[in-house]
Amino acid sequence: MTVLTAENLCKTFGTTRALEDLSLSIEEGSFFGLLGPNGAGKSTFMNIVSGFLKQDSGSLALQGEELDPNNIEQKKLIGLSPQHIALYKELSAETNLKLFGKLYGLSGKKLSQQIEYALEVAQLSERRKSPVKDFSGGMKRRLNIAVALMHKPKILLCDEPTVGVDPQSRNAIFDTLLSLKEEGMTIVYSTHYMEEAERLCDQIAIIDVGKILRIGTLDTLLQELPKSNIIRARSASLDEANTTTFSKFGAVTQDGSSLELRTNEDFRLSSFFKWTEDQGLDATDFQIARPSLEDLFLHLTGKDLRE
């Protein structure tokens, strides 16, 4: 069942087109990724879905009903974890949760229960009384997500929730989000880290300059790439003669101290290993890599994801 549908969304800020005919649909219970570089329009999309911004044109439907920023019942279906740490930093974790919970219309026992739930999700039960300003970056990020879960939304919008977070906290956030997905929550996750999209998302939309370039599962997206492999070797492993014959397998580019070979379509792995044997090279000096979303983005836009 489709939970969120966007059709031809357009949004302009001054002369900058932030979204241009953006269309997508998100299935209930899925982990939907929006992958794109900074300024691609991911946050604009999130802000329109959350009701903060209004699109210039196009339509947005939640569970088949047009999304109205003034519709309180619809808002209760959505939880937003903004890109900023949108918390009152002088207040404790518990007080933040209490205030935002009340804004979601919670009170009394229900509010207390949800505070406990959110603190547990954020793994902050022990630090509930500490002011947010004393938290580490990862703790703040977790609480930032937990606030959006206070009312147990159907859809959780996570706008780059791991920016500035150490790997350990990042993994904790991933685990939290994956367990929420297990519980049936739909998660819309924006990121410019292709590793995160590859690891977490069922469906990925690649977005750049306000346009969706491709949407699909990781496998279907990667099938878009020309059938080729990437073989990397340390430059020092190959002499001039080796390098010349190495290039018969495909296009060779220098990448720092490595040589990167993007193989031809008729590439055969057996031929390659035979060549290493003939050249007296150690096959373990070569690394065969699977094409990634980074490659796909490069293929589609001609630029790097982190540009």
Partner 1 sequence: MRAILTLLQKDFILFFRDKTAIVLTFLVPFFVIYIVGNIFSGAGDNGGLSSNIKLAAYNESGDAAADTFIKALDLEESIELVSDAPGSDNTRVPFTRESIRQGIVDHHYNFALIIPKGYLKEDDIGLRLEFLSNPKNQIEAQIINGLIQKAVFTKLPQLLAGQLDEYQKEQMGDEKYNQFLDGLAALITLSYDDIEYDDVRERMGFAGLTELLSPSDATDGEDGEDQASAFFEGIIEFDEDQVFGKELKNPYLTRMIGGYAIMFLLFATTGSAASLFEERNDGIFLRILSMPAKRTHILWSKYLFNTLLGVTQAITLFIASSFLFNVEVFPNLPALFIVSIFASAACTAFGMLLASISKTPQQAQGFGTLLIISMSALGGAWFPLSMMGPTMQIIGKFTLVYWGVEAYLGALWEESGILALLPNLGVLAAIAAGLIAIAAWRFKTGDLFR
Q: Which residues form the interface with partner 1 (CB under 8 A)?
A: 13, 47, 50-53, 69-70, 72, 75-76, 78-80, 82-89, 100, 103-105, 147-148, 157
Whose tokens are 């088949």? That residue is 64
Q: Which is nearer to partner 1, 14 or 256 (CB)?
A: 14
Nearest to 294 by CA among 158, 177, 196: 196
In whole angstroms, how close is the CB of 13 to partner 1 at the nearest point? 8
CA distance 12 to 57: 10
In whole angstroms, how close is the CB of 50 to partner 1 at the nearest point? 4
In whole angstroms, how close is the CB of 136 to partner 1 at the nearest point? 18
Q: Which is nearer to partner 1, 34 or 252 (CB)?
A: 34
How buried is 306 (Cβ within 10 angstroms: 0-12 exposed, 13-18 middle, 19+ buried)? exposed
Q: Which is nearer to partner 1, 48 or 124 (CB)?
A: 48
Residue 97: Cβ within 10 Å count = 28
In whole angstroms, how close is the CB of 94 to partner 1 at the nearest point? 17
Q: Which is nearer to partner 1, 132 or 261 (CB)?
A: 132
In whole angstroms, how close is the CB of 72 to partner 1 at the nearest point? 4
Token pair listed for 228? 């080729």
Q: Which is nearer to partner 1, 163 or 298 (CB)?
A: 163
- DSSP H or E segment with residue 299: helix 293-301
Residue 183: Cβ within 10 Å count = 8
DSSP string, 109-171: HHHHHHHHHHHHHTT-GGGTTSBGGGS-HHHHHHHHHHHHTTT--SEEEEESTTTT--HHHHH
